[in-house]
Amino acid sequence: MRIRGPILAGLLSLLAVPATAQPEFAARVRSYAQSHRADIVAEYLKLLSLPNIHGDAPALQRNAALLQDMMKRRGLDTALWQTSGGVPVVFGEKRVAGAARTLLFYIHYDGQPVDPKRWSQPDPFVPVIRTASIEAGGKPVTDLSGMSDEWRIYARASGDDKAPIEAILCTLDALGTPKENIKIILHGEEEGSGPGLAEVIAKYPDRLKSDLLVILDGPQHPSGRPTIFYGARGGAGLDVTVYTAKQGMHSGNYGNWMPDANVRLAQLISSMVSPGGKVVIPGFYGDVLPFPAEARAMMDAVPDQSRQMQQDFGVGSLDGAASSLQEGLNLPTFSIHQMKGGEVGGVIPASASAQIAMRLVADNDPKVMVERVIQFIRNQGYFITDKEPDVAALASHIRIARVVPRLSEGGGSGAWRTDPNNPQALFATEALRAVWGDRLVRIRTLGGGVPASSFIDAYHVPTVGVSLANYDDNQHTDNENIRLGNIFDGMVTLSALMMH
């Protein structure tokens, strides 16, 4: 993600400061964060220096060992749960006499792969601190004195998702003893797949039981204001390959005779989406629309930053599938993540493939959504097969496509949503409003996926998400970063949940 201009950054910093008086505990946390900034950042730099690429079990084991040590130093009762995939789940707990509820905080500690050549520093795991974002002209600094909220730490996983780990542990430092029982689960397989989370959920139901699950992931609203969300999208997809012959053929000798598989695939994909961006597959939006009045009111209340984001990201025109970003986040999406076809040498391609991805909301059944796409392809005159067609099959059908659905093992999409009026969700909302007032942004559905559904399916626990990272943190891509003020403000946000 990209943002440009120091003026906007300054405005976001002002927006983060509530106009109303803060509760005593919030003032205490702010004071602690101010006086311990150098220590907090130094500890965080050490954590970011450990490579944590998803799937690298030895590296993730080293991360888990450090994280367990960080928890122990805060007096948490900790456990390192080994999993069949070799990536530990780290658990910490602080029980409080007379607590009214138990809060379980979920955070992941694995990160996306990196291409160092694309970064503005030699090594994404040697953190670089800058006075502002790269786009705003931030300069590298080594002297931590005079630290500003606008400074950025650039490193893989700095925004997604190690920042909430540092914030929550430092919040416990600042508070001493919270009002609620606190449980923390740190997951090392979020950025892909792995058996660990399902295994520990099944094995440790008593340890993971809670009254409210709080997912700490995702970026804040682009306004920079504190953000709570009540649901997230899941996903499903299909791999589609269209065929026109058994092999590619010379474009000079067979052009105008042999159909071009790239053209066929492009025509098929374009038939699924209107020029305005709306998916025309029958029933695609039917499970969701029309929105309930309360849902529409929540979406309409979210500040609209479309014009600013267009400038920040260089988006010349918007997709017309939804009337606003918030409406779009509450609809299923249709994307083509990859298209492949053709070969070098003046050859008409005989096959071309596309990876279709759908982000689904809680109202969608992934199997139904996949079947709608398959039926649409069939209605375009394609014979559907689930295996590579032989020459006889190719010659027997005017159009032929191999379609392989991509569904999760359990058949669900991973989408979830908690009723904002659920008593535990109301508790979280009121807690954050106690420190942020009307600046709190309430989002019905987060655009990306977070693995709350595993907990919800197993424990039927009310769930909310709280986003702490700056929205321009470049998660999953080069120059990932965290704005320092987001860590310190995040401590205030987390203290509200612990002390309300």
Give dist(CA 424, CA 272) in Å, integer: 41
- Amino acid 20: pLDDT: 53
**DSSP code for 193:** -
Give dist(CA 253, CA 166) in Å, integer: 64
- Amino acid 412: pLDDT: 77
Question: Residues 463-473, buried b or exposed e (16+ Cβ, 10 A)?
Answer: bbbbbbbbbbb
Which candidate, 162, 126, 118, 136, places its Cα nearest to that of 479? 118
Token code pair at residue 373: 């796409």
Where in 379-485 does DSSP place strands (E)? 383-385, 400-406, 416-417, 441-443, 463-467, 481-483
Residue 147, Ramachandran bin (φ over 0: left; ψ between -120 and 50: alpha; else beta) = beta
Angle, in degrees to the nearest 10, between helices 423-436 and 484-499: 130
Q: How many residues does the chain have?
A: 500
Which candidate, 279, 407, 372, places its Cα nearest to that of 331? 279
Which candidate, 157, 108, 110, 148, places its Cα nearest to that of 129? 148
80, with CB counted inside 10 A (0-12, 13-18, 19+), is middle
Rounded to whole angstroms, the maximal C-alpha distance in the chain is: 83
pTM, to two decimals: 0.89
Give dist(CA 124, CA 274) in Å, integer: 40
For 8-32, the pLDDT digits (tens) are 443 444 344 444 567 999 999 999 9
Give dist(CA 205, CA 179) in Å, integer: 23
Give dist(CA 190, CA 185) in Å, integer: 12
In contact, 331 and 236? CB cutoff 8 Å: no
In the chain, which stretches have pLDDT less than 70?
Answer: 1-21
The chain-wide mean pLDDT, for the chain, equals: 93
Question: Residues 82-105, buried b or exposed e (16+ Cβ, 10 A)?
Answer: ebebbbbbbbbbbeeeebeebbbb
Helix-, strand-, coil-residue percentages of the chain, each rounded to 5: 35, 20, 45
Tokens 């983060």 locate to: 16
Which candidate, 168, 249, 258, places its Cα nearest to that of 214? 168
Helices (H) and strands (E) in the chain, counts: 17, 21
- The strand pair at 463-467 and 140-141 is best described as unpaired
Question: Residues 21-58, buried b or exposed e (16+ Cβ, 10 A)?
Answer: ebbebbebbbebbeebbeebbebbbebbebbbbbbbee
Residue 160, Ramachandran bin (φ over 0: left; ψ between -120 and 50: alpha; else beta) = beta
**Which residues make beta-bridge pairs with 481?**
154
Phi and psi at 263, nearest 5°, equal -65, -45
Token code pair at residue 152: 């950025």
